Amino acid sequence: MQITQNTVASIEYTLKDNEGQVLDTSEGREPLTYLHGSGNLVPGLESALEGNGEGDSVSVTVEPSEGFGERDENLIQQVPKTAFEGVESIEAGMRFQASDENGQGRIVTVTEVADDQVTVDANHPLAGVPLNFDVNVVEVRAASDEEIEHGHAHTGDEEDH
């Protein structure tokens, strides 16, 4: 069976940046299982996997526009330390859940702390970064109606939801 819309694929993968540094890998873990065509992977990787089957290997570079997007400098802002109510110590590298002006949840990363101001970056950490994937397709199967309805693969060890 080939990977197409509404199939469930299990893949082993390694993700590297352009310098060859491993950013993420499934090595030492169970393969990543996802519902193809439901937006569970970055678009460029999902497109590259389309039509492949069990045992196939794929190496692809996904440009930022098809990965985590380009960096948007408008997503970097300074906020008062008072916005971090209940947090005793704020340090660069810390990540927090925040809400944007539309009430949408977003993860922000602290990039600088100075006096009473904190600089946060709401860009995805891999925004603007080309993504180099090496993928092995382990298994492909038809998705169940329930998986299609839920928009993700069920791996058998999940509780009802």
- What the chain holds in terms of domains, given with CATH numbers, is 7-68+126-150 (3.10.50.40), 73-121 (2.40.10.330)
User: 113-151 pLDDT, tens per residue?
Assistant: 998 999 999 999 999 999 999 999 999 999 999 999 999
Q: SS3 for 10?
A: strand
pLDDT score recorded for residue 159: 47
Residues whose CB is less than 8 angstroms from the CB of residue 103 and which lie 6 or more positions away in sequence, other chains included? none
Q: Examine the pLDDT at 157 and tell me if it is beyond 80.
A: no
Residue 5 has pLDDT above 90, yes or no: yes
Q: Which residues does 54 contact at the CB level (< 8 Å), separation at least 6?
A: 1, 137, 138, 139, 140
Q: Does 84 have pLDDT greater than 60? A: yes
Q: Please write the tens of the pLDDT for every residue from 44-75.
A: 999 999 999 999 999 999 999 999 999 999 99
| Residue type present at position 145 | D
Measured distance CA(124)–CA(115) in Å, rounded? 26
Average pLDDT of the chain is 93
Say what the pLDDT of residue 100 is: 73
Does pTM surpass 0.75? yes
Q: Is the model more confident about 103 or about 150? A: 150
- With bands split at pLDDT 50, 70 and 90, how would you rate the model's confidence at 13? very high
